[in-house]
Amino acid sequence: MKTKTKQEIKEYCKMLKLMAVSEHFEKLITETEDMGEYLRELLALEVEREQQRAVDRRLKAAKFPYKKYIEDLEIDCLPKPMQRKLPSLITLDFIRQGQNLILTGNPGTGKTHSAIGLGIKACEAGYKVLYTTIPTLVTELKESNDQKKLRAYERKFEKYDLVIADELGYVSFDRAGADLLFNNLSMRSSTKSTIITSNLTFNRWDEVFGDPAITSAIVDRLTYKAILVDMEGDSYRLRETLKENGTSFEEIAK
């Protein structure tokens, strides 16, 4: 049996935690070279299946509301800033570097689709991901605080490599909610990545937080070394719907 084949078999056994097979296969495979190749290919298939199962588990744990893949995006329909940024974003370097990604712009321009698409790609790459909305996150933080389980919730939250916090700006909240959200997101700053989507520009975030001081603090913390993408533009969703119906955006805009 070729040395390379032996090494690959041992590596696959290690990945699958088949220590007995790793220890004894050389003694058992003595007949032909083909037997060694057969075992290698069999283990390779098992590793591939296990890796897919792991991806499926991460996708389920991420709690995406639906599957929206980056590959399904109509790139030409996205706002120009996102068209320019997307090639670098899909490398996932921003996750490796612990950078935040903030997508701001009017509704329907592809913010959530882009965020979920990047989240799915992160799951496929082995990262632990969570999708939530800002209103849901604030509610869960308040409930955990009331039940004196806030620190346990925060520890769990800190373990995610990427958190997608969608829909900042759709619902405002009180000072207690703003403080909890600020503290929670601040713990991830510069170490783990968060994607924030908002239909409001930064100068309107005080409409959500209700306090200029805390608004300034959270904007400063979230945007430090972050990637900011302006997604103001025509409705991406409307363009997709019109395309499905054989009509162009330009036609109805006349």
Backbone angles phi, psi at 171, to 5 degrees: -135, 135
Looking at residue 249, its pLDDT comes to 47
Q: Is the pTM of this model over 0.75?
A: yes
- 193 pairs with which residues across the strands? 162
Q: Percentages helix, strand, coil for the chain, rounded to the nearest 5?
A: 60, 10, 30
Both tokens of residue 223?
A: 């945007």
Backbone angles phi, psi at 246, to 5 degrees: 75, 25
Task: Indicate the DSSP class of residue 68.
Answer: -
Helix-helix angle 175-186:134-146, to 10 degrees: 100
Using 50 as the pLDDT threshold, list the residues of the chain that sit under it: 249, 252-254
Tell me the CA distances in angstroms from 122 to 90, 125, 161, 239, one per residue in order: 9, 5, 9, 27
